[in-house]
Chain A
Amino acid sequence: MDLFSNLALGFSVAISPMALLICLLGVSLGMVVGVLPGLGAITAIAMLLPVTYYLEPTHALIMLAGIYYGAAFGGSTASILLNLPGTPSSAITALDGYPLGQKGKAGVALLVAAMSSFFGGTVGVLLLATVAPALVKVALSFSSAEYFSVMLLGLIAAVTLAEGSPIKGLIAVAIGLLFGLVGADPQTGSVRYGFGIPQMFDGFSLVAVVMGLFGVAEVMANVGNDSGHRATHRISFREMLPSRAELRQTIKPILRGSAVGSAVGILPGTGVVVASFMAYALEKKISKTPERFGQGAIEGISAPEAANNACTQTTFIPTLAIGIPGDAVTAIMLSALILHGITPGPTVIASQPDMFWGLVVSFWIGNLILVIMNIPLVGIWVKLLSIPYRLMYPSIILFICIGVYSVNNSVFDIFVALGFGLLGLFMRMIGLSTAPLLLGFVLGPMMESHFRRALTLARGDLGVFFDRPVSAVFLLLCALFVVSWIISARRTKRKKANAG
């Protein structure tokens, strides 16, 4: 079968010593940033983007992706042992993981989390290997109308599934879209929102925006809040083995979690936080004993952990098959591809088969490394947490400064990062999430180009978005999301009226 020869090609790329080393490096770094609070995968990837310019494109992506799913893996450790979620998505693992640890079952929780993550990751990789090439066949027939509609769907999905009300999500997206428009208009070449500053004529650098919104803002919010944490708990291998009953309890949640995570991942615009949250909510809803959740229910770990790892893998489906970033992290990876001279889009898999299949296989190897590494090295991850924050945050800020500068050798970009840092901090204070903003920033200019091109080709006929069946389906899904906002808004209003 074709798939096997492709996978064989992938193995030949992924098990070369250099690729293995890069993969190991990526997942270890991912584990570290996942464990450490205040340094998410997205900041770490943006920080290392300049470093990967010096690698060949396949290796660059292997490393960046390794950080991404490594962080999803590592985030659970600190959640379970110390109730300190290193990443937003693992905050959900902390809900039941920490109570389990308190009951002396930290070992079981860690093993179940690792197993669930591995299973979810494997499901995600398999889907990536089978769905992405199939999706390419559809995507090759996409015209600008379809591209516009699928990106609109991505933005609307991000708004719907983000925390807080859709209005807030929309505000974040619209702000991001406006920031994305800064710089030369791709169709006419004239500069928009330059305000006479030459450095703004090329638009804001993505790395500077990401480092500001996520890195700088996070540091500013955390300084003075916490010092080092020390865990004295030691875990032996014996206590990790779950009982037969516990094992039985986790199998179905892992399967459901993987399914939820994969579905969320395939949808462009949504991320791991949504995946783990939805998987947890689903388990709680269908459980016969929902009151156990939050008290140390093992399903409360396995489902979201499986979901977030399945999601990190399937996010690459829209990213690599269509060229539309599945979430903020893959948006940065797409920019890495562009910097290496590869135009993201449906032709990538056909024109760079060794890269695509090498990535697929290396993702799975990475997951394997993680599950093997995670358990014996728990002690090291915990020790990492005892590094005092007073030493960590200046290092993070300085790394951000030099990292941002090195992309374009531009001092101006450091000020951009600072500006977006302050904006991100302010948004946090007023309860506005920053991930939709970044998505708007990335997708906005692409959407605008496709919208204009589609209309020009259709001689100004807006019907072009509805006449083409695939585009019409995407728009219908958008409409369904919007209807769901109205229904849920009505419901909360009625609830309020009943209560008051």
Chain B
Amino acid sequence: MQKPSLQNLLLAGLSASIALIGLYGAWGMDLGSLRRIGQGAFPVAMSVLLLILAAAVVFSRSDRPVHAPPKRTLLLVSGSMIAFALLLPIAGLIGAVIAATVICAAASSESRVIETIALSVFLAASFAALFVYGLGLTIPLGPE
């Protein structure tokens, strides 16, 4: 038997962990009977199926090597979305957009300072125009 590839091991790991969370969450749910299927039947069935597939995929053929994006991209793009989510209720739309744009742009080594600031102001203005004035969304523009 051939050695399982890293790709397949990761795949099996992902499926198995989601399956285990599925089983854990379905713990204590009513399975019911064929006449009256309970809320737990589908979750349990899907988790078990996923667990079987996880075992089956380990030795299947794998085609591509794994390419992870640079850590900087992951951290800064995630960071910008988190910053937006956290800042929106505190600083309002304009502050959140500007901060998130700057963090997001920092993920690419090609970004330039002046250009990024201009972009952030442009985005803040156009989102305010489109969503707040255009569509009438109730998002505060600045801090309360």
B: residues with CB less than 8 A from A are 7, 10-11, 14-15, 18, 22, 25-26, 29-30, 33-39, 42-43, 46-47, 49-50, 53-54, 56-57, 60-64, 66-70, 73-74, 77-78, 80-82, 84-86, 88-89, 93, 97, 100-101, 104-105, 107-112, 115-116, 119-120, 123, 127, 130-131, 135, 137-139
Contacts and interface: CB of A to CB of B under 8 A. Distances in A.
30 contacts: A50-B135, A51-B135, A165-B60, A174-B46, A175-B50, A181-B42, A192-B25, A192-B29, A220-B73, A391-B115, A394-B80, A395-B123, A397-B77, A397-B104, A398-B84, A401-B85, A401-B100, A402-B84, A402-B93, A406-B137, A418-B82, A421-B81, A422-B78, A426-B10, A429-B10, A431-B63, A451-B37, A455-B34, A455-B37, A456-B36
Interface residues of A, number: 69
B15 A175 contact: yes
Interface in A416-470: 417-418, 421-422, 425-427, 429-432, 444, 448, 451-452, 455-456, 459-462
Given A175-B50, A221-B69, A398-B123, A393 B89 contact: no
A243 interface: no
Interface string A377-420: 00000000000111101110111111001100101001101100
Interface of A: 50-51, 54, 164-165, 167-168, 170-171, 174-175, 177-178, 181, 185, 187-188, 190, 192-193, 195, 216, 219-221, 223-224, 227, 388-391, 393-395, 397-402, 405-406, 409, 411, 414-415, 417-418, 421-422, 425-427, 429-432, 444, 448, 451-452, 455-456, 459-462, 492
Contacts of B64: 431
Contacts of B115: 390-391
Contacts of A492: 61
A348 B96 CA distance: 42
State the 9 A-B residue pairs at the shortest beta-carbon distance, nearest first. Answer: A460-B35, A460-B34, A414-B85, A394-B104, A185-B39, A193-B25, A401-B84, A390-B110, A452-B37
A168 B57 contact: yes
Given A178-B18, A181-B43, A461-B34, 18 more contacts: A51-B130, A170-B49, A170-B53, A175-B50, A188-B30, A192-B29, A195-B25, A224-B110, A390-B111, A393-B107, A397-B77, A399-B127, A401-B100, A402-B93, A402-B127, A409-B139, A421-B81, A427-B14
